[in-house]
Structure 1
Amino acid sequence: MSSDQPPLNLNGHALLPKRSDVMIFVEPDEDPFVTGLHWRCATCDESPRFVLRDGTVDVQEPCAYPMGITTEITLDVPSGKLIVTDDLRDVYNVDFDAGASYNTDLGQAQVVQAMAAIGCAFGPVGDSSPNLYRDGENSYFIASPLYDDNDVPSLPESKCLAEIFTELRAYSIADFEDWKAKGGTPGSKLLGEYTVVDVAPGTYKFTLHVGERGFDKFDFDTERVFTHIERVAPLPSS
């Protein structure tokens, strides 16, 4: 921030684009309101209202999600088989523009929840090409490892179950038999590369971290764990 600009108190918001060196333009002293700030919050998608008070530019209303958003959804996997890829919109599709802007954490969380409601665990992860790893008997995680100078990954390759090539900038996971029953066709040119992973049948919870404050899915210099997955219930008795 320029030294001749007043301090900026965002009151929990993170402006789009995500940056701290914003330029502040202040109206004459008799007008306490600030002009020149037209960004929306990268978390809640609101347009903050700025006021000059005691030499500081304050956002009047706090962000509803000052710590960002952790998104949790569940996915039923009765077949015990997961189809893992980046894009399953051949079968599972929602309007990405129905709610808050998809460029914000809230908009992405809304899409994740809408996709889960129709049977797809979806998660925006940028152009990260992450992998699905086993983390325990019935737990997994989606992450991009960090590679050393010898191209050795920070995560064990022996636990890698699937590679996800993120042309859609996301992962998409569903019950393999549910996907086929709804019209999915293995080998379809629309599908792209995918992996079928065997898991214990049951209900799985996906905890997506990309909306949390401070998480940078574009930081290729660190190991990034995007999502934790765990089975939270077996199949109900028939």
Structure 2
Amino acid sequence: MSTHRLPLEANGHLISRESELEVLRLDITGGLVVFDGQHRCAFCDRWPTFNITEAVVAVQDPCPYPDGITTTITFNVPSGKLLVTDDLRPIYDWNDKKFASYNSAIGKAQAIKAMAAIGCAFGPASDRGLNLYRTAPDTYIIATPSYDDDDNPSIPENTRLARIYTDLWAYSMVDYQAWKTRGGDPDKLDWSDTVVDIPPGTYQVVHHSGERGFERDVAETVIWAHMERIA
């Protein structure tokens, strides 16, 4: 037996960040069996079915999300006060038993939409620090800034409205009054929670981490989401 690396034709799926897969030649049968990179697609959460030849490893069925997933939701902030943090459980949570794996883009999109349905703008992130910034009177970003050699951030500090400490590897934002109505206790808020004043209205949040090509661990500024008041 010997190992080979063959070109990968992924058919839109993301099953390996490399352009090749390692395969094992079984000299007894003459067959080829993939043993490295047999993972569910990071976009659609499906197990790939391979067609393997001497020259290439090709995934047979196309991914329904070849560009990844951009998730757009809306939520209301009628009080004009926005609670910003990472984790609002158990006041805001979802049941993921019927969802795809949370490790996939479709699973994360399902979680985002489930949280939006109960009034929470939620988005998976990483353990890097996030911040909510105002970019114009009615537009905002959730981003991880980069820093120069003098430790100056790439996004002006005077535009930052809230820090998000990512123990949950996520951000969560809700109308402060709605949070209290659902049972939130202001006395239990701590240094990791921020209440900020924004214009009352309906907000749209466009979340980007499920998109093909999104890189979280880079030296540049990482924008996780854009937020805009639309009504």
TM over 0.5: yes
Matches of 2:78 and 2:26, distance apart in 1 = 61
Deviating beyond 3 angstroms after TM superposition, the runs of 4 or more aligned structure 1 residues are 18-22, 26-35
Task: Please name the residue that 1:56 is paired with.
Answer: 56
Q: Which runs of 5+ in 2 are unaligned?
A: none
Question: Which residue type is aligned with residue 102 of structure 1?
Answer: Y
The secondary structure found in structure 2 opposite 1:5 is strand
**Larger strand share, 1 or 2:** 2
Task: Please name the residue that 2:219 is paired with.
Answer: 221
Q: TM-score, normalised by structure 2?
A: 0.91
Question: Which residue type is aligned with residue 112 of structure 1?
Answer: I
Q: Is the 8 A contact 1:125 1:210 kept in 2?
A: yes
Describe the superposition over 1:106-153 as per-residue Cα deviations: whole angstroms up to 9, x where unpaired.
100100000100111000111121100001111111001001111110
Matches of 1:163 and 1:64, distance apart in 2 = 35
Matches of 2:148 and 2:28, distance apart in 1 = 55
The secondary structure found in structure 1 opposite 2:174 is strand
Question: Which residue type is aligned with residue 196 of structure 2?
Answer: V
The secondary structure found in structure 2 opposite 1:106 is helix
Count of residue pairs brought into register by the alignment: 229
How far does residue 57 in structure 1 lie from its aligned partner after superposition?
1.2
What aligned pairs does 1:49-198 form with structure 2 within 5 A after superposition?
49-53=49-53, 55-188=55-188, 193-198=192-197
Structure 2 CA distance for partners of 1:5 and 1:19, relative to 1, 3 Å: closer
Task: Please name the residue that 1:231 is paired with.
Answer: 229
Q: Is the 8 A contact 1:33 1:50 kept in 2?
A: no
Matches of 2:168 and 2:118, distance apart in 1 = 19
1:38 and 2:38 correspond: yes
Task: Please name the residue that 1:7 is paired with.
Answer: 7
Matches of 2:154 and 2:28, distance apart in 1 = 55
The secondary structure found in structure 1 opposite 2:203 is strand
Describe the superposition over 1:52-95 as per-residue Cα deviations: whole angstroms up to 9, x where unpaired.
24621110001111111000000011111100000011311112
Q: TM-score, normalised by structure 1?
A: 0.89
Task: Please name the residue that 1:47 is paired with.
Answer: 47
The alignment's C-alpha RMSD in Å is 2.2
Q: Is the 8 A contact 1:11 1:60 kept in 2?
A: yes
